[in-house]
Structure 1
Amino acid sequence: MNKESPDIGALLARALLSAVFLYSGIGKLLGPEASMAYIAKAGMPWPAMAYAAALCVEVVVATAFLLGYKTRISAFVLLAFTLATALLFHADFGDRSQLISFLKNLAICGGLLQVLISSPGALRSRQALAQ
Protein backbone atom coordinates (compact mmCIF):
# COMPACT_ATOMS: atom_id res chain seq x y z
CA MET A 1 0.00 0.00 0.00
CA ASN A 2 1.55 3.30 -1.03
CA LYS A 3 1.43 6.59 0.84
CA GLU A 4 -1.39 8.08 -1.31
CA SER A 5 -3.80 5.12 -0.91
CA PRO A 6 -5.65 6.54 2.13
CA ASP A 7 -6.03 9.90 0.35
CA ILE A 8 -7.38 8.26 -2.80
CA GLY A 9 -9.70 6.20 -0.60
CA ALA A 10 -10.97 9.36 1.12
CA LEU A 11 -11.59 11.01 -2.26
CA LEU A 12 -13.43 7.91 -3.47
CA ALA A 13 -15.53 7.86 -0.29
CA ARG A 14 -16.47 11.53 -0.78
CA ALA A 15 -17.34 10.85 -4.44
CA LEU A 16 -19.56 7.90 -3.54
CA LEU A 17 -21.30 9.75 -0.71
CA SER A 18 -21.83 12.93 -2.74
CA ALA A 19 -23.24 11.08 -5.77
CA VAL A 20 -26.69 10.57 -4.23
CA PHE A 21 -26.95 14.25 -3.28
CA LEU A 22 -25.78 15.52 -6.66
CA TYR A 23 -28.12 13.17 -8.54
CA SER A 24 -31.06 14.23 -6.37
CA GLY A 25 -30.16 17.91 -6.73
CA ILE A 26 -30.03 17.66 -10.52
CA GLY A 27 -33.42 15.94 -10.43
CA LYS A 28 -34.79 18.82 -8.38
CA LEU A 29 -33.36 21.33 -10.87
CA LEU A 30 -35.02 19.52 -13.77
CA GLY A 31 -38.39 19.14 -12.02
CA PRO A 32 -38.96 21.96 -9.54
CA GLU A 33 -42.77 21.69 -9.59
CA ALA A 34 -42.74 17.96 -8.82
CA SER A 35 -40.17 18.48 -6.07
CA MET A 36 -42.19 21.24 -4.42
CA ALA A 37 -45.37 19.15 -4.69
CA TYR A 38 -43.60 16.24 -2.95
CA ILE A 39 -42.40 18.59 -0.20
CA ALA A 40 -45.91 20.03 0.23
CA LYS A 41 -47.46 16.53 0.31
CA ALA A 42 -45.12 15.63 3.18
CA GLY A 43 -46.61 18.54 5.13
CA MET A 44 -43.60 20.82 5.06
CA PRO A 45 -44.41 24.53 5.35
CA TRP A 46 -43.17 26.91 2.64
CA PRO A 47 -42.41 24.30 -0.04
CA ALA A 48 -40.60 26.83 -2.26
CA MET A 49 -38.20 27.76 0.55
CA ALA A 50 -37.68 24.10 1.51
CA TYR A 51 -37.02 23.32 -2.16
CA ALA A 52 -34.42 26.10 -2.40
CA ALA A 53 -32.72 24.95 0.80
CA ALA A 54 -32.65 21.32 -0.36
CA LEU A 55 -31.29 22.37 -3.74
CA CYS A 56 -28.52 24.38 -2.07
CA VAL A 57 -27.53 21.47 0.15
CA GLU A 58 -27.71 18.84 -2.57
CA VAL A 59 -25.82 20.81 -5.21
CA VAL A 60 -23.62 23.41 -3.50
CA VAL A 61 -22.74 21.64 -0.25
CA ALA A 62 -22.37 18.24 -1.94
CA THR A 63 -20.02 19.75 -4.53
CA ALA A 64 -17.93 21.35 -1.78
CA PHE A 65 -17.84 17.99 0.00
CA LEU A 66 -16.81 16.16 -3.17
CA LEU A 67 -13.99 18.64 -3.84
CA GLY A 68 -12.83 18.52 -0.23
CA TYR A 69 -13.62 22.17 0.47
CA LYS A 70 -14.50 22.67 4.14
CA THR A 71 -14.99 18.90 4.25
CA ARG A 72 -15.96 18.52 7.89
CA ILE A 73 -18.43 21.41 7.77
CA SER A 74 -20.00 20.14 4.55
CA ALA A 75 -20.14 16.59 5.99
CA PHE A 76 -21.97 17.93 9.03
CA VAL A 77 -24.48 19.86 6.90
CA LEU A 78 -25.09 16.81 4.70
CA LEU A 79 -25.46 14.61 7.78
CA ALA A 80 -28.01 16.95 9.39
CA PHE A 81 -29.91 17.27 6.10
CA THR A 82 -29.96 13.48 5.59
CA LEU A 83 -31.15 12.80 9.13
CA ALA A 84 -33.88 15.45 8.81
CA THR A 85 -34.92 13.99 5.45
CA ALA A 86 -35.14 10.51 6.96
CA LEU A 87 -37.32 11.72 9.81
CA LEU A 88 -39.56 14.00 7.73
CA PHE A 89 -40.01 11.98 4.54
CA HIS A 90 -39.33 8.32 5.41
CA ALA A 91 -40.82 7.75 8.86
CA ASP A 92 -43.78 5.61 7.78
CA PHE A 93 -42.28 2.36 9.03
CA GLY A 94 -45.41 0.42 8.08
CA ASP A 95 -44.43 0.99 4.44
CA ARG A 96 -41.49 -1.32 3.68
CA SER A 97 -40.04 0.99 0.99
CA GLN A 98 -40.13 3.93 3.41
CA LEU A 99 -38.41 1.86 6.08
CA ILE A 100 -35.69 0.87 3.62
CA SER A 101 -35.24 4.52 2.57
CA PHE A 102 -35.04 5.50 6.24
CA LEU A 103 -32.36 2.87 6.90
CA LYS A 104 -30.42 3.91 3.77
CA ASN A 105 -30.45 7.50 5.00
CA LEU A 106 -29.10 6.31 8.36
CA ALA A 107 -26.34 4.40 6.52
CA ILE A 108 -25.44 7.57 4.60
CA CYS A 109 -25.35 9.41 7.94
CA GLY A 110 -22.92 6.78 9.19
CA GLY A 111 -20.60 7.37 6.23
CA LEU A 112 -20.78 11.13 6.70
CA LEU A 113 -20.12 10.75 10.42
CA GLN A 114 -17.03 8.69 9.61
CA VAL A 115 -15.74 11.49 7.34
CA LEU A 116 -16.63 14.05 10.01
CA ILE A 117 -14.57 12.33 12.72
CA SER A 118 -11.66 11.19 10.56
CA SER A 119 -9.32 12.80 8.07
CA PRO A 120 -10.94 14.11 4.87
CA GLY A 121 -7.75 13.11 3.02
CA ALA A 122 -5.06 15.21 1.38
CA LEU A 123 -6.56 14.97 -2.11
CA ARG A 124 -9.02 17.82 -2.01
CA SER A 125 -9.84 21.11 -3.66
CA ARG A 126 -7.25 22.04 -6.32
CA GLN A 127 -5.21 18.92 -5.55
CA ALA A 128 -8.21 16.68 -6.26
CA LEU A 129 -8.91 18.43 -9.55
CA ALA A 130 -5.27 18.15 -10.66
CA GLN A 131 -5.13 14.38 -10.21
Structure 2
Amino acid sequence: MNHAIPAIGRLLLAIIFIISGLMKLAAPDDTAAAIASVGLPFARAGLVLAIAVTLGGGLMLAAGYRTRTAAAGLAVFTLVAGLLFHGQIGEREQMIHLLKNLALAGGLLQVMAFGAGAWSIDGRMARAGGR
Protein backbone atom coordinates (compact mmCIF):
# COMPACT_ATOMS: atom_id res chain seq x y z
CA MET A 1 0.00 0.00 0.00
CA ASN A 2 2.87 2.41 0.75
CA HIS A 3 3.96 2.28 -2.91
CA ALA A 4 0.43 3.08 -4.12
CA ILE A 5 0.01 6.28 -2.11
CA PRO A 6 2.56 8.43 -4.00
CA ALA A 7 1.21 7.14 -7.32
CA ILE A 8 -2.37 7.96 -6.36
CA GLY A 9 -1.27 11.39 -5.12
CA ARG A 10 0.55 12.12 -8.37
CA LEU A 11 -2.49 11.08 -10.41
CA LEU A 12 -4.83 13.22 -8.36
CA LEU A 13 -2.54 16.24 -8.78
CA ALA A 14 -1.95 15.55 -12.47
CA ILE A 15 -5.58 15.22 -13.55
CA ILE A 16 -6.35 18.92 -13.18
CA PHE A 17 -3.37 19.84 -15.36
CA ILE A 18 -4.12 17.22 -18.03
CA ILE A 19 -7.76 18.27 -18.30
CA SER A 20 -6.80 21.94 -18.28
CA GLY A 21 -4.30 21.37 -21.11
CA LEU A 22 -6.89 19.48 -23.15
CA MET A 23 -9.41 22.27 -22.60
CA LYS A 24 -6.84 24.81 -23.79
CA LEU A 25 -6.29 22.70 -26.92
CA ALA A 26 -10.05 22.50 -27.51
CA ALA A 27 -10.59 26.26 -27.19
CA PRO A 28 -7.33 27.99 -28.09
CA ASP A 29 -8.94 31.32 -28.98
CA ASP A 30 -10.69 31.53 -25.62
CA THR A 31 -7.45 30.76 -23.79
CA ALA A 32 -5.47 33.31 -25.81
CA ALA A 33 -8.17 35.91 -25.10
CA ALA A 34 -7.99 35.15 -21.37
CA ILE A 35 -4.22 35.57 -21.45
CA ALA A 36 -4.53 38.89 -23.30
CA SER A 37 -7.28 40.08 -20.94
CA VAL A 38 -4.84 40.35 -18.04
CA GLY A 39 -2.50 42.46 -20.12
CA LEU A 40 0.10 39.84 -20.98
CA PRO A 41 1.82 40.32 -24.34
CA PHE A 42 2.23 37.56 -26.92
CA ALA A 43 -0.98 35.75 -25.99
CA ARG A 44 -0.48 33.08 -28.68
CA ALA A 45 3.00 32.26 -27.37
CA GLY A 46 1.53 32.19 -23.87
CA LEU A 47 -1.10 29.75 -25.11
CA VAL A 48 1.55 27.39 -26.49
CA LEU A 49 3.53 27.64 -23.25
CA ALA A 50 0.42 27.04 -21.12
CA ILE A 51 -0.52 23.94 -23.14
CA ALA A 52 3.02 22.57 -22.99
CA VAL A 53 3.29 23.11 -19.24
CA THR A 54 -0.18 21.92 -18.25
CA LEU A 55 -0.56 18.98 -20.61
CA GLY A 56 3.09 17.98 -20.85
CA GLY A 57 3.83 18.55 -17.18
CA GLY A 58 0.61 16.82 -16.15
CA LEU A 59 1.41 13.74 -18.21
CA MET A 60 4.98 13.65 -16.86
CA LEU A 61 3.67 13.94 -13.31
CA ALA A 62 1.08 11.19 -13.86
CA ALA A 63 3.68 8.82 -15.30
CA GLY A 64 6.31 9.73 -12.75
CA TYR A 65 8.82 10.74 -15.43
CA ARG A 66 11.34 13.41 -14.44
CA THR A 67 8.86 14.01 -11.69
CA ARG A 68 10.78 16.52 -9.60
CA THR A 69 11.36 18.75 -12.63
CA ALA A 70 7.74 18.45 -13.77
CA ALA A 71 6.46 19.21 -10.26
CA ALA A 72 8.73 22.26 -9.97
CA GLY A 73 7.60 23.62 -13.32
CA LEU A 74 3.95 23.03 -12.54
CA ALA A 75 4.32 24.64 -9.10
CA VAL A 76 5.84 27.81 -10.57
CA PHE A 77 3.23 27.89 -13.35
CA THR A 78 0.41 27.39 -10.83
CA LEU A 79 1.64 30.18 -8.54
CA VAL A 80 2.11 32.63 -11.40
CA ALA A 81 -1.26 31.74 -12.95
CA GLY A 82 -2.97 32.10 -9.58
CA LEU A 83 -1.54 35.55 -9.00
CA LEU A 84 -2.21 36.75 -12.55
CA PHE A 85 -5.68 35.33 -13.06
CA HIS A 86 -7.09 35.08 -9.52
CA GLY A 87 -5.47 38.01 -7.75
CA GLN A 88 -8.75 39.81 -7.05
CA ILE A 89 -8.89 38.49 -3.51
CA GLY A 90 -11.74 40.83 -2.59
CA GLU A 91 -14.00 38.59 -4.66
CA ARG A 92 -14.89 35.38 -2.82
CA GLU A 93 -14.71 33.09 -5.87
CA GLN A 94 -11.36 34.51 -6.98
CA MET A 95 -10.00 34.04 -3.47
CA ILE A 96 -11.07 30.38 -3.54
CA HIS A 97 -9.38 29.89 -6.93
CA LEU A 98 -6.20 31.52 -5.63
CA LEU A 99 -6.23 29.32 -2.53
CA LYS A 100 -6.75 26.26 -4.77
CA ASN A 101 -3.68 27.25 -6.75
CA LEU A 102 -1.66 27.71 -3.56
CA ALA A 103 -2.75 24.28 -2.32
CA LEU A 104 -1.83 22.67 -5.64
CA ALA A 105 1.58 24.35 -5.53
CA GLY A 106 2.06 23.02 -2.00
CA GLY A 107 1.27 19.48 -3.10
CA LEU A 108 3.61 19.84 -6.07
CA LEU A 109 6.40 21.05 -3.79
CA GLN A 110 5.91 17.90 -1.71
CA VAL A 111 6.30 15.79 -4.85
CA MET A 112 9.37 17.81 -5.78
CA ALA A 113 10.88 17.23 -2.34
CA PHE A 114 10.09 13.52 -1.98
CA GLY A 115 10.02 12.30 -5.57
CA ALA A 116 7.67 10.10 -7.55
CA GLY A 117 7.74 6.96 -5.45
CA ALA A 118 8.34 3.37 -6.49
CA TRP A 119 5.42 3.08 -8.92
CA SER A 120 6.78 5.51 -11.49
CA ILE A 121 9.11 5.68 -14.46
CA ASP A 122 11.63 7.45 -12.22
CA GLY A 123 11.38 4.66 -9.65
CA ARG A 124 11.80 1.99 -12.32
CA MET A 125 14.83 3.77 -13.78
CA ALA A 126 16.39 4.09 -10.31
CA ARG A 127 15.90 0.36 -9.66
CA ALA A 128 17.37 -0.53 -13.07
CA GLY A 129 20.35 1.74 -12.46
CA GLY A 130 21.00 0.19 -9.06
CA ARG A 131 21.42 -3.32 -10.47
Q: Same fold (TM over 0.5)?
A: yes
Between the aligned partners of 2:115 and 2:17, the Cα distance in structure 1 is: 21
Runs (4+) of structure 1 exceeding 6 A deviation are: none
Q: Does residue 7 of structure 2 align to residue 24 of structure 1?
A: no
* Residue number in structure 1 paired with 2:105: 109
* Residue number in structure 2 paired with 1:118: 114
Give the total of aligned pairs: 123
Between the aligned partners of 2:104 and 2:86, the Cα distance in structure 1 is: 14
- From 3, 18, 25, the counterpart of 1:7: 3
Shift of 1:116: 1.0
Between the aligned partners of 1:119 and 1:23, the Cα distance in structure 2 is: 23
* Residue number in structure 1 paired with 2:45: 49
1:86–1:101: 8 Å Cα contact kept in structure 2?
A: yes
Between the aligned partners of 2:55 and 2:75, the Cα distance in structure 1 is: 14
* Residue number in structure 2 paired with 1:81: 77
Between the aligned partners of 2:22 and 2:94, the Cα distance in structure 1 is: 22
TM-score for the superposition, normalised by structure 2:
0.90
* Residue number in structure 2 paired with 1:70: 66
1:91–1:102: 8 Å Cα contact kept in structure 2?
A: yes
Aligned CA RMSD, in angstroms, stands at: 1.2
Q: Does residue 33 of structure 2 align to residue 33 of structure 1?
A: no
Shift of 1:62: 1.1
TM-score for the superposition, normalised by structure 1:
0.90
Identity, % of aligned pairs?
37
Structure 1: runs of 5+ lacking an equivalent: none
* Residue number in structure 2 paired with 1:93: 89
- Residue deviations 1:69-126 (CA, integer Å, cap 9, x gap): 0010100000000001011111011111111000000000111111111132011129
SS of the residue 1:6 aligns to: coil
